[in-house]
């Protein structure tokens, strides 16, 4: 095994788990049961085990801390977060991930979480570490995906109505969307099919590389 004369960071994975319920985007947070930031709200996450991929660690930590099971391959990578001082325990770099969950996704606290709760994305509490920045990056990534992919529509029930897509996209963009323009776009998207004059559904067999 190699030895090194210079320090190396610890590696963690954090998950921004989102659902769209009652026409509002919600984020799943845990109340930390241990230091640092004991009693504070934070994203589900934790240290990557030796020999474990960050993607697999993210899915594992989400399941252990909230009882929410996801396919690790469906997680959306958000990037690395490693600013000095982000973790009082020392030099810790985290890889952020986003999980798009159904509106009826339920959570229960486990492992080192005192509680698990869904919070409106527009009214989050004060957060531990730099998790506000990780969540902001998740919202930014979803806005980017609205330009290239139908993936953000996975947050909606299947099938969904045009107005549900408008509510979701208006929250992602922070401004109302013109209904006729969005409806015209929905009709053109290759990855969608109209299951009735007023209902749409994503085609599960169509998967773009950026949807992983």
pLDDT tens by residue, 172-206 = 999 998 988 888 888 888 889 989 988 999 886 54
Give a yes or no: residue 4 inside a domain.
Answer: no
Please say whether the beta carbons of 64 and 93 come within 8 A. no
pTM over 0.95: no
Which residues make Cβ contacts (< 8 Å) with residue 38, sequence separation at least 6?
32
Residue-wise pLDDT for 38-87, tens only, equals: 999 999 999 999 999 999 999 999 999 999 999 999 999 999 999 999 99
- Judged against a pLDDT cut of 80, whether residue 2 lies above it is answered with no
Name, in order, each residue with C-beta under 8 angstroms of 108's C-beta and a sequence gap of 6 or more.
66, 67, 116
pLDDT of residue 208: 43
Question: Does residue 92 have a cis bond before it (omega within 30 degrees)?
Answer: no
Q: Are residues 86 and 32 in the same domain?
A: yes
Pair (31, 134) in one structural domain: yes
CATH number where 186 lies: 1.10.10.10
Which contiguous run of DSSP H or E holds residue 186? Answer: helix 179-188
Q: Does 5 map to a domain?
A: no
Identify whether residues 168 and 194 lie together within a single domain. yes
Residue 2 domain flag? no
Per the structure, the complete domain to which residue 84 belongs is given by: 10-141
In this predicted model, which residue has the larger pLDDT, 115 or 183? 115
- The answer to whether position 82 is within a domain reads yes
Domain total of the chain: 2
């Amino acid at each position: 095994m190699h030895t090194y004369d210079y320090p190396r960071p610890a590696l963690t994975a954090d998950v921004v788990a989102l659902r769209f319920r009652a026409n509002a985007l919600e984020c799943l947070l845990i109340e930390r049961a241990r230091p640092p930031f004991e009693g504070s709200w934070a994203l589900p996450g934790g240290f990557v085990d030796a020999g474990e991929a960050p993607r697999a660690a993210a899915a594992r930590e989400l399941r252990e801390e909230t009882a929410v099971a996801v396919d690790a391959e469906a997680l959306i990578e958000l990037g690395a977060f490693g600013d000095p001082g982000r973790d009082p325990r020392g030099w810790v770099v985290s890889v952020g991930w986003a999980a798009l969950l159904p509106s009826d996704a339920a959570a229960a606290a486990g492992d080192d979480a005192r509680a698990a709760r869904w919070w409106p994305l527009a009214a989050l509490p004060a957060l531990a570490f730099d998790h506000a920045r990780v969540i902001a990056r998740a919202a930014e990534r979803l806005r980017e995906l609205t330009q290239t992919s139908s993936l953000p529509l996975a947050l909606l029930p299947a099938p969904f109505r045009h107005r549900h897509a408008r509510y979701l996209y208006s929250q992602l963009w922070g401004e109302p969307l013109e209904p006729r323009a969005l409806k015209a776009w929905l009709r053109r998207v290759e990855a969608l099919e109209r299951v009735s004059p007023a209902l749409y559904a994503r085609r599960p067999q169509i998967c773009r590389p950026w949807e992983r």
